[in-house]
Structure 1
Amino acid sequence: MNILLKSAKIIDQNSEELHLKTRDILIKKGTIAKIAAKIEPEGKTRVIKHKNLHVSIGWFDSSVAFGEPGYEERETIANGLHTAALSGFTDIVLNPSTHPAPDSSSSIVFLKNAAADQLTSLHPLGTLTVDAKGIDLAELYDMKNAGAVGFFDFKKPLTNPNLLKIALQYVQNFEGLVYSFPMDTRIAGKGIVNEGEVSTKLGLKGIPILAEELQVARDLFILEYTGGKLHIPTISTAKSVKLIAEAKKKGLDVSCSVAVHNLSFTDDCLEEFDSAYKTLPPLRTKTDAKALIKGLKDGIIDFVASDHSPMNIEEKRVEFDNASYGSIGLESAFGSLNTLLDTETTIGLLTKGRERYGLKSPVLKEGEKACLTLFDPEVNYIFEEGHISSTSKNSMYMGSPLKGKVYGTINKGLFVTEEA
């Protein structure tokens, strides 16, 4: 099928020739055949026309969880990737949050095969340790050869610093990327929300910012000693930004990300004891949120993630203390980020990050494979359940004003849109 995008404003800061220009784009058999001021459709061509149509290279999300295998009631791979495509993402990094944990090459092959026919490409993480128990290193080299783009015991901190040291040394043989979740469990204790005025007022056990910052500092010291590639996912405090900035000035090979919701919300939201706002790391203060946004703008924080974590209703509609952590975020990621930042900055953040995982970034020019996201950055709306395509509905954005609508995605010769 041929596709013709009519009067699409191109957002591509890597292209001086096309950035902020309005062009027609013709796609033949999955390849960008022509970009011009005006193109007339020929033969069997699907013409895409929308008010205020914008286009960029396909978006990338570095932190997505589904459920399959083991927790299919939360989300299947097929529906999760369809949701990602409808949300503008042509590539996602899948967190190892399944049962059994993906700690072998066969597990990685299963995930890759399950996603093979989908528009959105799935790039799996393997666990760093066997069964994500933090004791013995998993089959890192074999998983890398099978397609794993990094190694992460999902949301589980590495309590043994020597294990992180050995992992960082070992993966240098094959350019592996090691994750370390930023939380010291001995400092966090039984805390479930940010420690501060709000937690004290509500009588909820708090997780001090020290729990994150102590772990980040420890991990950076180890990285400086060992070398290797370290990724610190979803940081949440102002001091973490400073620590990582200092490490980068030293030339350490470290990257980090932030969850969109840690930019949008603070622990003030907890006053209704709504478990939709229970996440890990927890929502912090306005000071932290401002520092995280500045860290993104300054390039200290490498990329932003939806941290999409579906949970079924039985795991969320319980007492706050007993509720599971996590909020879905794919469907709201663009609208929430575009509300906080200008459109060019938003698209720049949503399209960066692939290189860290050894993935090739798409190029928007004639002769290249079409990997595109179509959107309107000016649509204002209130986020409601009808905007959710995920099987689980645990979104903290319910009822929030957002800005920006995704029209669809094009990748691998496929086109996904909400329209029939």
Structure 2
Amino acid sequence: MNVLIKSATIVDSKSDFHNQTLDILIEKGIITQISKHIANPKKYQEVKLDNLHVSQGWFDSSVSFGEPGFEERETIANGLKTAALSGFTSVATNANTYPVIDSSADITFIKSKSKDHAISLYPIGALTKSGEGNDLAELFDMKNAGAIAFYDYQKAVSNPNLMKLALQYASNFGGLVMSFPQDSNISGSGVMNENRTSTSLGLKGNPTLAEELQVSRDLFLLEYTNGKLHIPTISTAKSVDLIRKAKQQKLDVTCSVAIHNLLFTDEKLTTFNTNFKVKPPLRTQKDIDALIEGLKDGTIDMVTSDHNPIDIENKKIEFDFAKYGTIGLESAFGALQSVFTLKKSIELLTKGKKRFGIESNGIVVGSKADLSLFDPKFSYIFSKNHIISTSKNSLFENSQLKGKSYGIIANNQLVLN
């Protein structure tokens, strides 16, 4: 693939070209020239777009595609198309399929489905067999097959000894263990944040204590084992404090937050819109403020869309029985920019790669072209027309967003909206 990008503002704080508007020549997937004006005698395809900006390719550490088993929610092919058109060049996919991705053969299957695609797909293997929390899955074999981490998606490992063994065993081969921050014995059948709002709505509450107890337990286990832990999608102020202290103790821990937990409070559930039924639940403004501060000071390492397509049959039903989850790839960039500056938004969309062992390619001559293309100024109301996913369960519908993706250049391919 040979492409000439014209008049693009480069957003890459580690590049000498940061904040400069330049042409970028890409030949056979490699950046061969960056300059104020590049001629095009070979008649390569030119990319000229309004207010075009480029950055290193974005990465999402928690994406769910239904295949295999739940293709009515999303297929891998359409999921990758959605990610690419949303500006992501790499995604880590969760194991919440049917059957659950818990063996090397499963990892090989998932990787084969993404072969030759512009997007790089990195499978996360289940931590326990069938994701049931009873016995460890084939962690080492899955690692060798290409799994980048191990996680029972949105399922807490209630047995502390099993989590201890997982951290100890995975440390032998540098495996990254992920633990969902929720004590299910405390959360019980709660469907939203336990607060004044849940009481007024008559819905069972899930207290912040459920998350904080689990985070605290896992950090104690991490300290004991000297393992390697990632805590996905924290949602409370105290969780931020606990992880901040753990990092000060030099424990090998990272964490993420779902973008929607940075924008919406539990008061959004007063309409009983099941798209706002997510896990962990939407919390309070105090929690949001702490999460944002945690991202600013580096306590929270990355953001995720926590993209989780759910078919209409499992969403358009009574709130108590609706499944948890929202799609988020299409709205991720525009939502993030409503909270942070452009520079910080791009940093948060790219810095998770290192933790998951994914190569970063800077915007420099000689580097592999792994680029996200976007317009950071474009303002719009997000609607169903902007949804590419098969499922339409977005809690960002009717929200004002700032910034849109044009597409990506990655793996020697150009994908544009």
SS at 1:125's partner residue? strand
Separation in structure 1 between the aligned mates of residue 116 and residue 269 of structure 2, nearest angstrom = 41
Name the amino acid aligned to 2:8: A
Partner of 2:239: 240
**TM-score, normalised via structure 2 length:** 0.99
What is the Cα deviation at residue 183 of structure 1? 0.3
Separation in structure 1 between the aligned mates of residue 28 and residue 373 of structure 2, nearest angstrom = 18
Question: In the TM superposition, what are the counterparts of 1:155-234 in structure 2 within 5 Å?
Answer: 155-234=154-233
What is the Cα deviation at residue 360 of structure 1? 1.2
Partner of 1:122: 121
Partner of 1:254: 253
Please tell me whether residue 11 in structure 1 is matched to residue 39 in structure 2: no
SS at 1:339's partner residue? coil
Which shows bigger deviation, 322-331 or 114-123? 114-123
Separation in structure 2 between the aligned mates of residue 348 and residue 126 of structure 1, nearest angstrom = 26
What is the Cα deviation at residue 44 of structure 1? 3.1
Separation in structure 1 between the aligned mates of residue 200 and residue 115 of structure 2, nearest angstrom = 49
What is the Cα deviation at residue 361 of structure 1? 1.0
Aligned residue pair count: 417
Partner of 1:324: 323
Partner of 2:290: 291
Question: In the TM superposition, what are the counterparts of 1:16-415 in structure 2 within 5 Å?
Answer: 17-415=16-414
What is the Cα deviation at residue 297 of structure 1? 0.7
Report if aligned partners of 1:12, 1:19 keep a CA contact under 8 Å in 2.
Answer: yes
Report if aligned partners of 1:150, 1:176 keep a CA contact under 8 Å in 2.
Answer: yes
Separation in structure 2 between the aligned mates of residue 169 and residue 354 of structure 1, nearest angstrom = 23
Report if aligned partners of 1:260, 1:305 keep a CA contact under 8 Å in 2.
Answer: yes
Separation in structure 2 between the aligned mates of residue 349 and residue 42 of structure 1, nearest angstrom = 38
Percent identical: 59
Separation in structure 2 between the aligned mates of residue 363 and residue 54 of structure 1, nearest angstrom = 15
What is the Cα deviation at residue 391 of structure 1? 0.3
Report if aligned partners of 2:104, 2:142 keep a CA contact under 8 Å in 1.
Answer: yes
Name the amino acid aligned to 1:317: K
Separation in structure 1 between the aligned mates of residue 113 and residue 399 of structure 2, nearest angstrom = 34
Report if aligned partners of 2:12, 2:362 keep a CA contact under 8 Å in 1.
Answer: no
Separation in structure 2 between the aligned mates of residue 331 and residue 402 of structure 1, nearest angstrom = 11
Name the amino acid aligned to 1:210: L
SS at 1:376's partner residue? strand
What is the Cα deviation at residue 50 of structure 1? 1.5
Name the amino acid aligned to 1:369: K
Report if aligned partners of 1:2, 1:44 keep a CA contact under 8 Å in 2.
Answer: no
What is the Cα deviation at residue 42 of structure 1? 2.0
What is the Cα deviation at residue 41 of structure 1? 1.3
What is the Cα deviation at residue 314 of structure 1? 0.1
What is the Cα deviation at residue 172 of structure 1? 1.1
4+ residue segments displaced more than 3 Å: none
Deviations 1:311-347 (A, max 9, x none): 0000000000000000000000000001111101101
Separation in structure 1 between the aligned mates of residue 359 and residue 380 of structure 2, nearest angstrom = 34
SS at 2:338's partner residue? helix
Report if aligned partners of 2:58, 2:88 keep a CA contact under 8 Å in 1.
Answer: yes
**TM-score, normalised via structure 1 length:** 0.99
Name the amino acid aligned to 1:275: T
Separation in structure 2 between the aligned mates of residue 280 and residue 207 of structure 1, nearest angstrom = 10
Partner of 2:416: 417
User: What is the RMSD computed on CA atoms of the aligned residues?
Assistant: 0.7
Report if aligned partners of 1:276, 1:327 keep a CA contact under 8 Å in 2.
Answer: yes
Deviations 1:164-222 (A, max 9, x none): 00110111110000011000011111101000011001000000000000000000001
Report if aligned partners of 1:182, 1:213 keep a CA contact under 8 Å in 2.
Answer: yes
Report if aligned partners of 1:93, 1:124 keep a CA contact under 8 Å in 2.
Answer: yes
Separation in structure 1 between the aligned mates of residue 289 and residue 40 of structure 2, nearest angstrom = 47
Separation in structure 1 between the aligned mates of residue 49 and residue 106 of structure 2, nearest angstrom = 41
Separation in structure 2 between the aligned mates of residue 184 and residue 194 of structure 1, nearest angstrom = 14
Name the amino acid aligned to 2:22: R
Separation in structure 2 between the aligned mates of residue 131 and residue 51 of structure 1, nearest angstrom = 47
